[in-house]
C-alpha cells in the first residue's frame, strides 16, 4: 500500500507540484488519474490473451502481471502478483515483458479482473516507477482533495442556491389534487417530505424573502431514493439546492405564501458545517 501510495504520489508530485518542468506529461497524468478507477504498474506476460474465463479474447487483450496497485475501489480484489486482462487501445505498443503503468477503467469482474485501458506509461528500463516524491503521503492527500474539490465545484456551480442554515420543521408534503395522478402507489414512491430551512447565510443565490426556504426531499428508503439526503428538525449544515424539477410541483406553501420549492437529492448535496471554509473557497474560484 505504501508503495502504491508513493507511486501515485509521485505522479501527483509531478502533476501538481512541478508543472513547469513537465507541463504536457503533468496534464496528461493528472487527467489519467482522474479518469481511471484502477491504476496499477505491471509487466505484460501474454499478448492476445485473457487471464480468466468469461473475458472475450481479442487482439486487443493482453495479460499483465501486477507489480503494484496504485488505485482501486475497495470492493475490488487486486494485489501484487495477480494477472489482469487489459483491453488496450494499441496492442502494437506491448509485448511480453513490457513494463508499464496502466490507467484503466473496470470492465469484467470474475475469477480475476479485466480492465479497459484509459492510458498507459511505459516504465523506464528496469521498471522503476515514475519518480516518487518524499512528500508522498501529503501529495496523495492533495490529489484526493483536488478531485473531491472539483466534484464539489461542479456541484455548487450548477446549484441555484448554496445555503448555510438549520431545519426548523419537517412535514410530509401533501400532494395537491392537480398532481395526484402523478403520485400513484409504487414501491418506488418517493414519500416526499418538506423541510423548512431557516437561512443563516446565503453563499450563492439571490436574497430570499423571510429568510426561509422549502427543501423537498424523499423520505423513502426504497432503492431509488435511499441515497438521497434525509433531513431532521434542528439539522444544520450547508445545503446545495436546485429548483424542484423532480417532484412534479415546483412550488410549495410557506407561511401562507407560495414559494419555489428546492431539492437536495444526491449524496454530497448536504455538507456539514465543517466544510464551510472549503465551500466558500471554491465559490470564489
Partner 1 sequence: MRSLAGYWTRVLPLPVLAVMAGTLFVGGQSPPGVAPTHAKVVDVIPASLSGETNQDSEPFLAVQAANPQVMVASAFTPNPISSAGNAPVYVSEDAGNTWVLSAITPVQRMTCDITHAMSTGENHPRGDLHAGTLACAASITLDESESDDVSSSAVMNVQSTRTNVDQPFVRALPFSNIDHIYVGLNDLGQSSGHTATVDVSLDGGATYKSYSIESRKTMGQDGPSVRPAVAPDNTVYAAFFGWRKFNGSIATSDVVVVRDDAGATAPQAFQALKDPSDKLPGRLVVKRVSIPWSNAPTLGQERIGSTLSIAVDPNNSSTVYVGWADRGRKGDIYTLHVRRSTDRGVTWSKSDLPHTTISNATNIALAVANNGVAGFLHQQLSGGRWVTHVVQSRDGFATIQDTVLASVPADTPVEQFLPYLGDYDYLLAVGNEFRGVFCANNTPDRANFPQGVTYQRTADFNTKTLTDGSGNPVAISIDPFYFSVPVMP
Q: Which residue ranges make up the site for partner 1 (CB under 8 A)?
A: 37-38, 52-56, 73-79, 105-113, 181-182, 184-189, 191, 220-226, 245-246
The residue (of 123 and 228) whose beta carbon lies closer to partner 1 is: 228
The residue (of 166 and 193) whose beta carbon lies closer to partner 1 is: 193
> What's phi and psi for 160, nearest 5 deg?
-80, -35
Nearest distance, CB of residue 126 and partner 1, angstroms: 27
The residue (of 228 and 271) whose beta carbon lies closer to partner 1 is: 228
Nearest distance, CB of residue 62 and partner 1, angstroms: 16
Cα 39 to Cα 68: distance, rounded to the nearest angstrom: 9
The residue (of 37 and 43) whose beta carbon lies closer to partner 1 is: 37
The residue (of 51 and 99) whose beta carbon lies closer to partner 1 is: 51
Task: Say how many C-beta atoms besides its own lie within 10 A of residue 243's C-beta.
Answer: 14
Nearest distance, CB of residue 251 and partner 1, angstroms: 17
Q: Are the CB atoms for 113 and 78 separated by under 8 Å?
A: yes
The residue (of 174 and 277) whose beta carbon lies closer to partner 1 is: 174
Nearest distance, CB of residue 74 and partner 1, angstroms: 5
Which residue is listed with cell 511480453?
96
Nearest distance, CB of residue 276 and partner 1, angstroms: 26
Nearest distance, CB of residue 253 and partner 1, angstroms: 22
The residue (of 10 and 112) whose beta carbon lies closer to partner 1 is: 112
The C-alpha cell at 53 is: 474465463
The residue (of 82 and 275) whose beta carbon lies closer to partner 1 is: 82
Nearest distance, CB of residue 105 and partner 1, angstroms: 7
Q: Are the CB atoms for 108 and 114 separated by under 8 Å?
A: yes
Coil, strand, or helix at residue 249?
Answer: coil
- CA–CA distances in Å: residue 58 to residues 87, 91, 189, 256: 8, 10, 45, 66
Task: Say how many C-beta atoms besides its own lie within 10 A of residue 183's C-beta.
Answer: 17
Cα 19 to Cα 6: distance, rounded to the nearest angstrom: 19
Nearest distance, CB of residue 212 and partner 1, angstroms: 25
Q: What is the maximum span of the chain, computed from C-alpha positions, in angstroms?
A: 74
What per-residue string of b and e applies to 82-117 under the rule 16 or more CB within 10 Å gives b?
bbbbbbbeebeebeeebbbbbbbebbbbeebbbbbb
Cα 15 to Cα 157: distance, rounded to the nearest angstrom: 25
To the nearest 10 degrees (0 to 180), the angle between helices 23-35 and 136-157 is 70
Amino acid at each position: 500500500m505504501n508503495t502504491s501510495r508513493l507511486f501515485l504520489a509521485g505522479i501527483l508530485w509531478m502533476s501538481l507540484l512541478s508543472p513547469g518542468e513537465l507541463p504536457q506529461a503533468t496534464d496528461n497524468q493528472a487527467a489519467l488519474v482522474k479518469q481511471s478507477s484502477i491504476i496499477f504498474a505491471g509487466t505484460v506476460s501474454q499478448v492476445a490473451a485473457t487471464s480468466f474465463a468469461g473475458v472475450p479474447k481479442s487482439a486487443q487483450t493482453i495479460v499483465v502481471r501486477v507489480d503494484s496497485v496504485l488505485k482501486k475501489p475497495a470492493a475490488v480484489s487486486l494485489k501484487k502478483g495477480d494477472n489482469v486482462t487489459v483491453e488496450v487501445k494499441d496492442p502494437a505498443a506491448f509485448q511480453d515483458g513490457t513494463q508499464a503503468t496502466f490507467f484503466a477503467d473496470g470492465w469484467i469482474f470474475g475469477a480475476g479482473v479485466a480492465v479497459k485501458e484509459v492510458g498507459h506509461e511505459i516504465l523506464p528500463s528496469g521498471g522503476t516507477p515514475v519518480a516518487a516524491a518524499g512528500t508522498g503521503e501529503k501529495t496523495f492527500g492533495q490529489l484526493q482533495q483536488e478531485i473531491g474539490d472539483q466534484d464539489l465545484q461542479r456541484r455548487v456551480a450548477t446549484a441555484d442556491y448554496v445555503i448555510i442554515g438549520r431545519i426548523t420543521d419537517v412535514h410530509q408534503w401533501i400532494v395537491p389534487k392537480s398532481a395526484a395522478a402523478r403520485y400513484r402507489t409504487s414501491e418506488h414512491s418517493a414519500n416526499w417530505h418538506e423541510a423548512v430551512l431557516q437561512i443563516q447565510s446565503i453563499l450563492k443565490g439571490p436574497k430570499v424573502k423571510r429568510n426561509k426556504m422549502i427543501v423537498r426531499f424523499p423520505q423513502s428508503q426504497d432503492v431509488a431514493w435511499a441515497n438521497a439526503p434525509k433531513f431532521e428538525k434542528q439539522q444544520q449544515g450547508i445545503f446545495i439546492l436546485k429548483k424542484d424539477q423532480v417532484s412534479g410541483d415546483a412550488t410549495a406553501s410557506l407561511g401562507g405564501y407560495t414559494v419555489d420549492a428546492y431539492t437536495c437529492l444526491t449524496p454530497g448535496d448536504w455538507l456539514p458545517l465543517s466544510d464551510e471554509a472549503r465551500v466558500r473557497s471554491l465559490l470564489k474560484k
